Chain A
Amino acid sequence: MKALFMKNPLLLIGTVVVATVALLAVLAPFISPYDPSDINVRAILLPPSWEHWCGTDTLGRDVLTRMLYGARVSLAVGFVAVGIALVVGIFLGSIAGHYGGKVDGALMRLTDMVLCFPTFFLILAVIAFLEPSIWNIMIVIGLTSWMGVTRLVRAEFLSLRERDFILAARSLGVSSFQLIWRYLLPNAIGPILVSAVLGVAGAVLVESGLSFLGLGVQPPDPSWGNMLTEGKDNIQIAWWLSVYPGLAILITVLGYNLLGEGLRDLFDPKGNKR
């Protein structure tokens, strides 16, 4: 275990960052003495100090506390959105890669089509028609980010298809479903995991962008993105409202990206070693 981490510093740093952020999010109520929605008129817009490490916002709420609770929101959106993307992506990719031929052609056309759509426009358009809420955001981000997984699963299946053990299973008369579920997918799990971890990073970024525009997580629920909106509105007088929540996004996304790259090296040591 130790040797593994020493050889793969990306994996080490990524794991530490991801675990720390997750722990802080889970333990938020035990870490902070404040409540994220407690309004305190005597502590409005205080700069960082011993009482409030990251200062307070326009309603006198503790910024650090809101960041801790915001981590819950961001991570929840990230995980659920990636979950949805994985389900759709694995389903379509399996069908395309397993059956090939015309089905494959049609599905890949569809994937290319969605891929060259400006996804952010699509997300915003859907939000315009529905209501901006945390559930809608999870679903919309999930439904607009499955393309990478689809392509990946398909590519893995196409290369696995010709391998002896798959041919053997096929000639034994294993059903298509069994073949995909028991033989093909388990052998493609490495790259899928990598893209899922990188996907969380992407989803956190998109969520923060949406919330920053006021079309994501709605106040008073704290999210790093909507905290930055307040930062922008008070940019002349309260720098701490802009600096800290963004730093939280940067560190979290960086952590997931590093973990993803580390896992890639782990599963495919020859691949990107340059």
Chain B
Amino acid sequence: MKQYALKRLIGMIPLLLGITIISFGMMHLAPGEPSVVGNEFNPKVSADDIERLRAYYGLDKPLYEQYWNWLKRLAVLDFGNSFSSDGRAVLDKVLERLPVTLWINILAMLLILAVAIPIGVASAVRQNSWFDRGMTIFVFIGFAIPSFWLGLLLMIGLGVNTNLLPVSGIHDYSWQQMGWIEQQLDLMKHLILPVFVSAIGGLAGMSRFMRSGMLDVIRADYITTARAMGVAERVIRYRLALKNAMLPIITLLGLSIPGLIGGSVIVEQLFSIPGMGLLFYEAVLSRDYPLVMGITVIGAVLTLMGNLLADLSYAWADPRIRHGGKG
């Protein structure tokens, strides 16, 4: 197991390098460089000044050297300073926004697991029943519905017209005056809609996947054997079949991380949630390049770590990998 984990960790290095190369390349796609932008028509800025600025930012060096310097700074988590007026370090800005985003995504994943697995199993066990058909329709709609539109409809239905749930931000006006328990309840109330909207696509995909996985397993020889030996149907379904059908779910969870993290831009913008997605959106709008690059790299690294975690738990759950059959 340890060996496998080590192998996977080393395998991440080329991926990380690739991510930085893509990001660095994109940075140089940007029209104009910081030394020229804003100074083109300024008569007081001579060609010499621009040269000096280029030297100051290290832009006069060959591209590979610039990349190497950038990489060295990345290695110590120095993403540079934001272009915005506060000029704070990118890392600080991201770190204060990250927890909300992580919470929403983790809760969304838990919701997906808690709902999709029972739905998938029930659909598979009662294949072609009315329940199964209804769920199939739900899955198709879940795949096709734009999450932000669902969010808008829920905002109209539950927020604007009936005032059942808050539709923006994560705190009520009176947050400061509340007691601790009230604060947590208020936070949860604010997170219900965003979490549900983030989860909808994954819900559809996961329940479909669970259904077909369960159908595959139910037809396996060892299940037939168990049935022939008179094991109770309940035990077969929920103890023998479920365990094996759930294995691929772990991989799918890992694969759904990029979608969740990317989707947080839309969800956070829609519900005005001050998380990493909204920060990214604001950075894109204001062309805050260091912030955009920093978040892209951090987002990619988070995704990689999520994938690694998924692979490791898969290995932990599957004895064939745990004991080093294949790596």
Contacts and interface: CB of A to CB of B under 8 A. Distances in A.
A118 B29 contact: no
A169 interface: no
Interface stretch (A48-56, A84-92, A121-129, A157-165): A121-129
Contact of B261 (A115, A118, A214, A250): A118
A122 B18 CA distance: 14
A212 B304 contact: no
A114 B146 CA distance: 23
Given A205-B146, A258-B140, A235 B155 contact: yes
B127 A232 contact: no
Q: Give chain B's interface residue range (CB within 8 Å of chain A).
A: 35 or more
DSSP class of A's interface residues: helix, strand, loop or mixed?
helix
A118 B284 contact: no
Interface stretch (A36-44, A174-182, A241-249): A241-249
Given A128-B284, A129-B31, A274-B127, A118 B303 contact: yes
A228 interface: yes
B304 A201 contact: no
A208 B144 CA distance: 12
Given A118-B261, A118-B303, A250-B141, A228 B152 contact: yes
Nearest to B219: A274
Given A113-B15, A129-B30, A257-B143, A124 B265 contact: yes
- Name the residue among A110, A118, A232 with the largest chain B CB count within 10 angstroms: A118
A209 B146 contact: yes
A30 interface: no
A3 to B, nearest CB: 22
Contacts of A228: 146, 148-149, 152
Contacts of B257: 116, 118
B191 interface: no
A201 B295 CA distance: 28
B296 A122 contact: yes
Contacts of B296: 121-122, 125
A213 to B, nearest CB: 6
B324 to A, nearest CB: 22
B146 A249 contact: yes
A130 interface: yes
Contacts of A267: none
A123 to B, nearest CB: 8
A170 interface: no
A58 B117 CA distance: 44
Given A119-B258, A235-B152, A253-B146, 5 more contacts: A209-B266, A228-B146, A228-B149, A236-B160, A254-B143
Interface of A: 109-110, 112-113, 115-122, 124-130, 201, 205, 208-209, 212-215, 228, 231-232, 235-236, 239, 242-243, 246, 249-250, 253-254, 257-258, 272, 274
7 contacts: A110-B18, A118-B258, A127-B284, A201-B144, A208-B146, A228-B148, A254-B143
